[in-house]
Amino acid sequence: MSSSTPPQTRCIGCGALVPDLPDLYGPEHAYLGASPGCWQLYNETMVRGLSYSSYAGLHGLAADTYMVQHPGVSSPQAIQSVAAHLIGLYWALEHHHSFEKVITLRQRSLNKLYVWLEPPESLGALTIVDVANSSDEKTYVDTVKRWAQSTWEAWVAYHDIVKRWAHP
């Protein structure tokens, strides 16, 4: 009996090789630019992370990272999402704030009028696939941190804009 690898496709957002799942139930997300297989992998991987005690506090960092790696196309929802999640990465990675503090700080800046930031050609060297392939808790946690940093660095052309948005 041979085991077969399920068909794979490139995610329309992050470019990772992910399961090629049919979009049977309509769009997987209203404005997120993610292929169905990538969105499913993200959700399964985040649930797995919740079983790790050292992952506490990193769930928000992982969510912010995934969202800015899948910015979608310019729409009011996508503009707000990218801005909010880049602001989250800014506070977490540049100022080392906890997830709870990031939420508080982000809330203070969400009443601004944002503009579409054209996504960089590369959205980072790591993707949710790297996190999903982590073999143990330590590797998982370390990979989430490296994934977030890699993604934040991919948006370097907009760091000054994000910093202005983050400060009311």
Query: For 31, which DSSP code?
Result: S
Residues 115 and 96: beta-carbon distance below 8 Å: no
Name the amino acid, one letter, at 53: S
User: Per the structure, how many domains does the chain have?
Assistant: 1
Q: Which pTM was predicted?
A: 0.92
How far is Cα 121 from Cα 131, in angstroms, rounded to an integer? 21
Does 94 reside within a domain? yes
Task: Write down the H helix ranges in the chain.
Answer: 36-49, 59-69, 76-89, 99-109, 128-132, 137-154, 159-166
Residue 82 belongs to domain spanning: 8-166
Please provide the size of the chain in residues: 168
- Classify residue 10 as exposed, middle or buried by CB count within 10 Å of its CB (0-12, 13-18, 19+): middle
From the DSSP assignment, how many helices (H) and strands (E) are in the chain?
A: 7, 2
Can you give the pLDDT at residue 168?
77
C-beta atoms surrounding 2 within 10 Å:
3
**DSSP character string of 64-81:** HHHHHHS--SSSHHHHHH
Does 112 reside within a domain? yes
Does 2 reside within a domain? no
The CA-CA-CA angle for residues 155, 66, 72, to 5°, reads: 75
Distance of alpha carbon 125 from the chain centroid: 13
Does 135 reside within a domain? yes
Q: How many CA atoms lie within 13 A of 10 on its CB side?
A: 4
C-beta atoms surrounding 7 within 10 Å:
9
**Per residue of the chain (168 residues), what is the pLDDT tens digit?**
445 677 999 999 999 999 998 775 445 567 889 999 999 999 999 999 999 998 888 999 999 999 999 999 999 999 999 999 999 999 999 999 999 999 999 999 888 889 999 999 999 999 999 999 999 999 999 999 999 999 999 999 999 999 999 997
Does 74 reside within a domain? yes
Does 98 reside within a domain? yes
C-beta atoms surrounding 37 within 10 Å:
23
Does 12 reside within a domain? yes
Does 87 reside within a domain? yes
C-alpha closest to that of 116 among 154, 165, 167:
165
